[in-house]
């Protein structure tokens, strides 16, 4: 606790977050936000877009921490809104964990709502149905990419582990652990850096190639993908007790931390060139990694976990002091300077709802939040 008091004034930051999220509730309302650009206004993305769960996730965390009914009321029908899309053509894919963990699953956890349980289990069954037996991976996206799998899916595995716990059916967890094993074998490199996309032959399961995806190059170090792997492997260890996943999480964490600049907020890719001067930061990668580091610290003894906890605090301190919108009452986001998809030129130097979500989640953890979404 001394380390938290030394590095972060949690009561002060939490007070600022409460004020900010109250304002966001008024400004965002029922929108499905993804990105806020120079005008500070969040867009209203389609509901089957992968980011649709993060705003209601913030609302549920704030309700759980404060007891305020306004957050609960605003979050309540998001899982129902998502379920309606299953009755029509939609684009749901490997990211249903990002959509249903922060809506249906946390709603059921906090309220016991039976419809939320049903919706969460339906999403888990959908995700399990994307598993490729020969390749031992969960396929990414839709269309003709039948052999593609991506590191982001590491964060969606918690939906499958939860479904096994709820139903007593081990198959969900078996699929999650098998996919996580493939992440160890084909995504996480020896030095702790991470591939974004691995293309498999969907029939034989053999690896065909590695693709750069949202990273600078196939062999680069996309920082948000690194954060997905860190947090996802730490979660997998919590669910399985298999220390190979714990060791993998630590290896990825060491790569991430070793490549941070002086202010502890990651560039969008750690290997974007011989010099990172002028390369954009990604506050979403920083916030996600911070929460993953806190998860990792909780899996270890106080002595072994200290380095990860204190590293998370340093990241969060920098995000709070240098990247926040605390003084701008009309800005609808919390964090500035996120990077979505730099190679495509999409959403560079913007605010991203998942960056905001993981910042709120991290601070809530340090403030004593007892539940988890991922």
**Which of 113, 42, 26 lies closest to 78 in space, CA to CA?**
113
Compute how many other C-beta atoms are within 10 angstroms of the C-beta atom of residue 6.
10
Cα dist from 75 to 59, 201, 298, whole Å: 6, 41, 28
Phi, psi of 76 (to 5 degrees): -55, -45
| Cα 329 to the center of its chain, rounded Å | 26
Alpha helices in 259-282 (DSSP H): none
Q: Is residue 38 among the annotated active site residues? A: no
**Which of 310, 223, 217, 221 lies closest to 266 in space, CA to CA?**
223
**Which of 230, 226, 201 lies closest to 216 in space, CA to CA?**
226
**CB contact set of 367 (below 8 Å; sequence gap of 6+):** 10, 11, 14, 65
Q: Find out whether 149 and 139 touch, Cβ atoms under 8 Å.
A: yes
- Kindly name the residue from 48, 79, 93, 152 that is annotated as catalytic: 152
Q: Find out whether 265 and 322 touch, Cβ atoms under 8 Å.
A: yes
Q: Find out whether 230 and 292 touch, Cβ atoms under 8 Å.
A: yes
Measured at the CA of 246, the angle between CA 369 and CA 137, to 5 degrees, comes to 100
- Compute the distance between CA of residue 164 and CA of residue 349 in angstroms, rounded to an integer: 39
- Compute the distance between CA of residue 333 and CA of residue 71 in angstroms, rounded to an integer: 17
| Cα 61 to the center of its chain, rounded Å | 15
155-182 CB burial, b ≥16 within 10 A, e <16: bbbbbbbbbbeeeeeeebbebbbbbbbb
Q: Is residue 44 among the annotated active site residues? A: no
Q: Find out whether 65 and 17 touch, Cβ atoms under 8 Å.
A: no
8-state DSSP, 148: E
Q: Find out whether 48 and 85 touch, Cβ atoms under 8 Å.
A: yes
- Kindly name the residue from 95, 269, 282, 356 that is annotated as catalytic: 95
Catalytic residues: 95, 152
């Amino acid at each position: 606790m001394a380390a938290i008091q030394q590095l972060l004034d949690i009561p002060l930051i939490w007070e600022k977050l409460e004020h900010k999220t109250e304002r966001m509730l008024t400004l965002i309302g029922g929108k499905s936000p993804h990105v806020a650009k120079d005008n500070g206004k969040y867009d209203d993305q389609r509901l089957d877009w992968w980011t649709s769960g993060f705003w209601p996730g913030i609302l549920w965390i704030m309700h759980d921490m404060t007891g305020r009914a306004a957050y609960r009321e605003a979050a309540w029908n998001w899982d129902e809104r998502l379920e309606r899309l299953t009755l029509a053509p939609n684009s749901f894919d490997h990211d249903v964990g990002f959509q249903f963990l922060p809506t249906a699953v946390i709603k059921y956890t906090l309220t016991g709502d039976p419809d939320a349980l049903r919706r969460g289990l339906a999403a888990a069954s959908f995700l399990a149905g994307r598993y490729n037996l020969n390749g031992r991976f969960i396929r990414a996206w839709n269309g003709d990419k039948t052999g593609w799998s991506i590191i982001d899916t590491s964060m969606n595995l918690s939906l499958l582990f939860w479904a096994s716990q709820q139903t007593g059916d081990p198959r969900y967890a078996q699929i999650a652990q098998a996919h996580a094993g493939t992440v160890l074998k084909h995504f996480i490199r020896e030095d702790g850096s991470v591939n974004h996309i691995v293309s498999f032959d969907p029939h034989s399961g053999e690896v065909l190639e590695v693709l750069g995806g949202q990273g600078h190059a196939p062999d680069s170090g996309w920082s948000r993908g690194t954060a997905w792997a860190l947090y996802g492997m730490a979660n997998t260890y919590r669910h399985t007790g298999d220390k190979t996943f714990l060791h993998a999480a630590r290896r990825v964490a060491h790569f991430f931390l070793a490549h941070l600049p002086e202010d502890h907020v990651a560039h969008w890719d750690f290997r974007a060139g011989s010099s990172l001067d002028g390369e954009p930061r990604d506050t979403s990668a920083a916030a996600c990694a911070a929460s993953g580091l806190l998860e990792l610290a909780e899996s270890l003894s106080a002595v072994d976990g200290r380095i990860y906890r204190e590293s998370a605090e340093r990241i969060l301190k920098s995000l709070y002091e240098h990247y926040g919108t605390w003084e701008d009452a009309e800005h609808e986001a919390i964090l500035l300077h996120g990077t979505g998809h730099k190679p495509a030129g999409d959403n560079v130097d913007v605010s991203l709802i998942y960056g905001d979500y993981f910042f709120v989640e991290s601070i809530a953890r340090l403030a004593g939040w007892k539940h988890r979404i991922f």
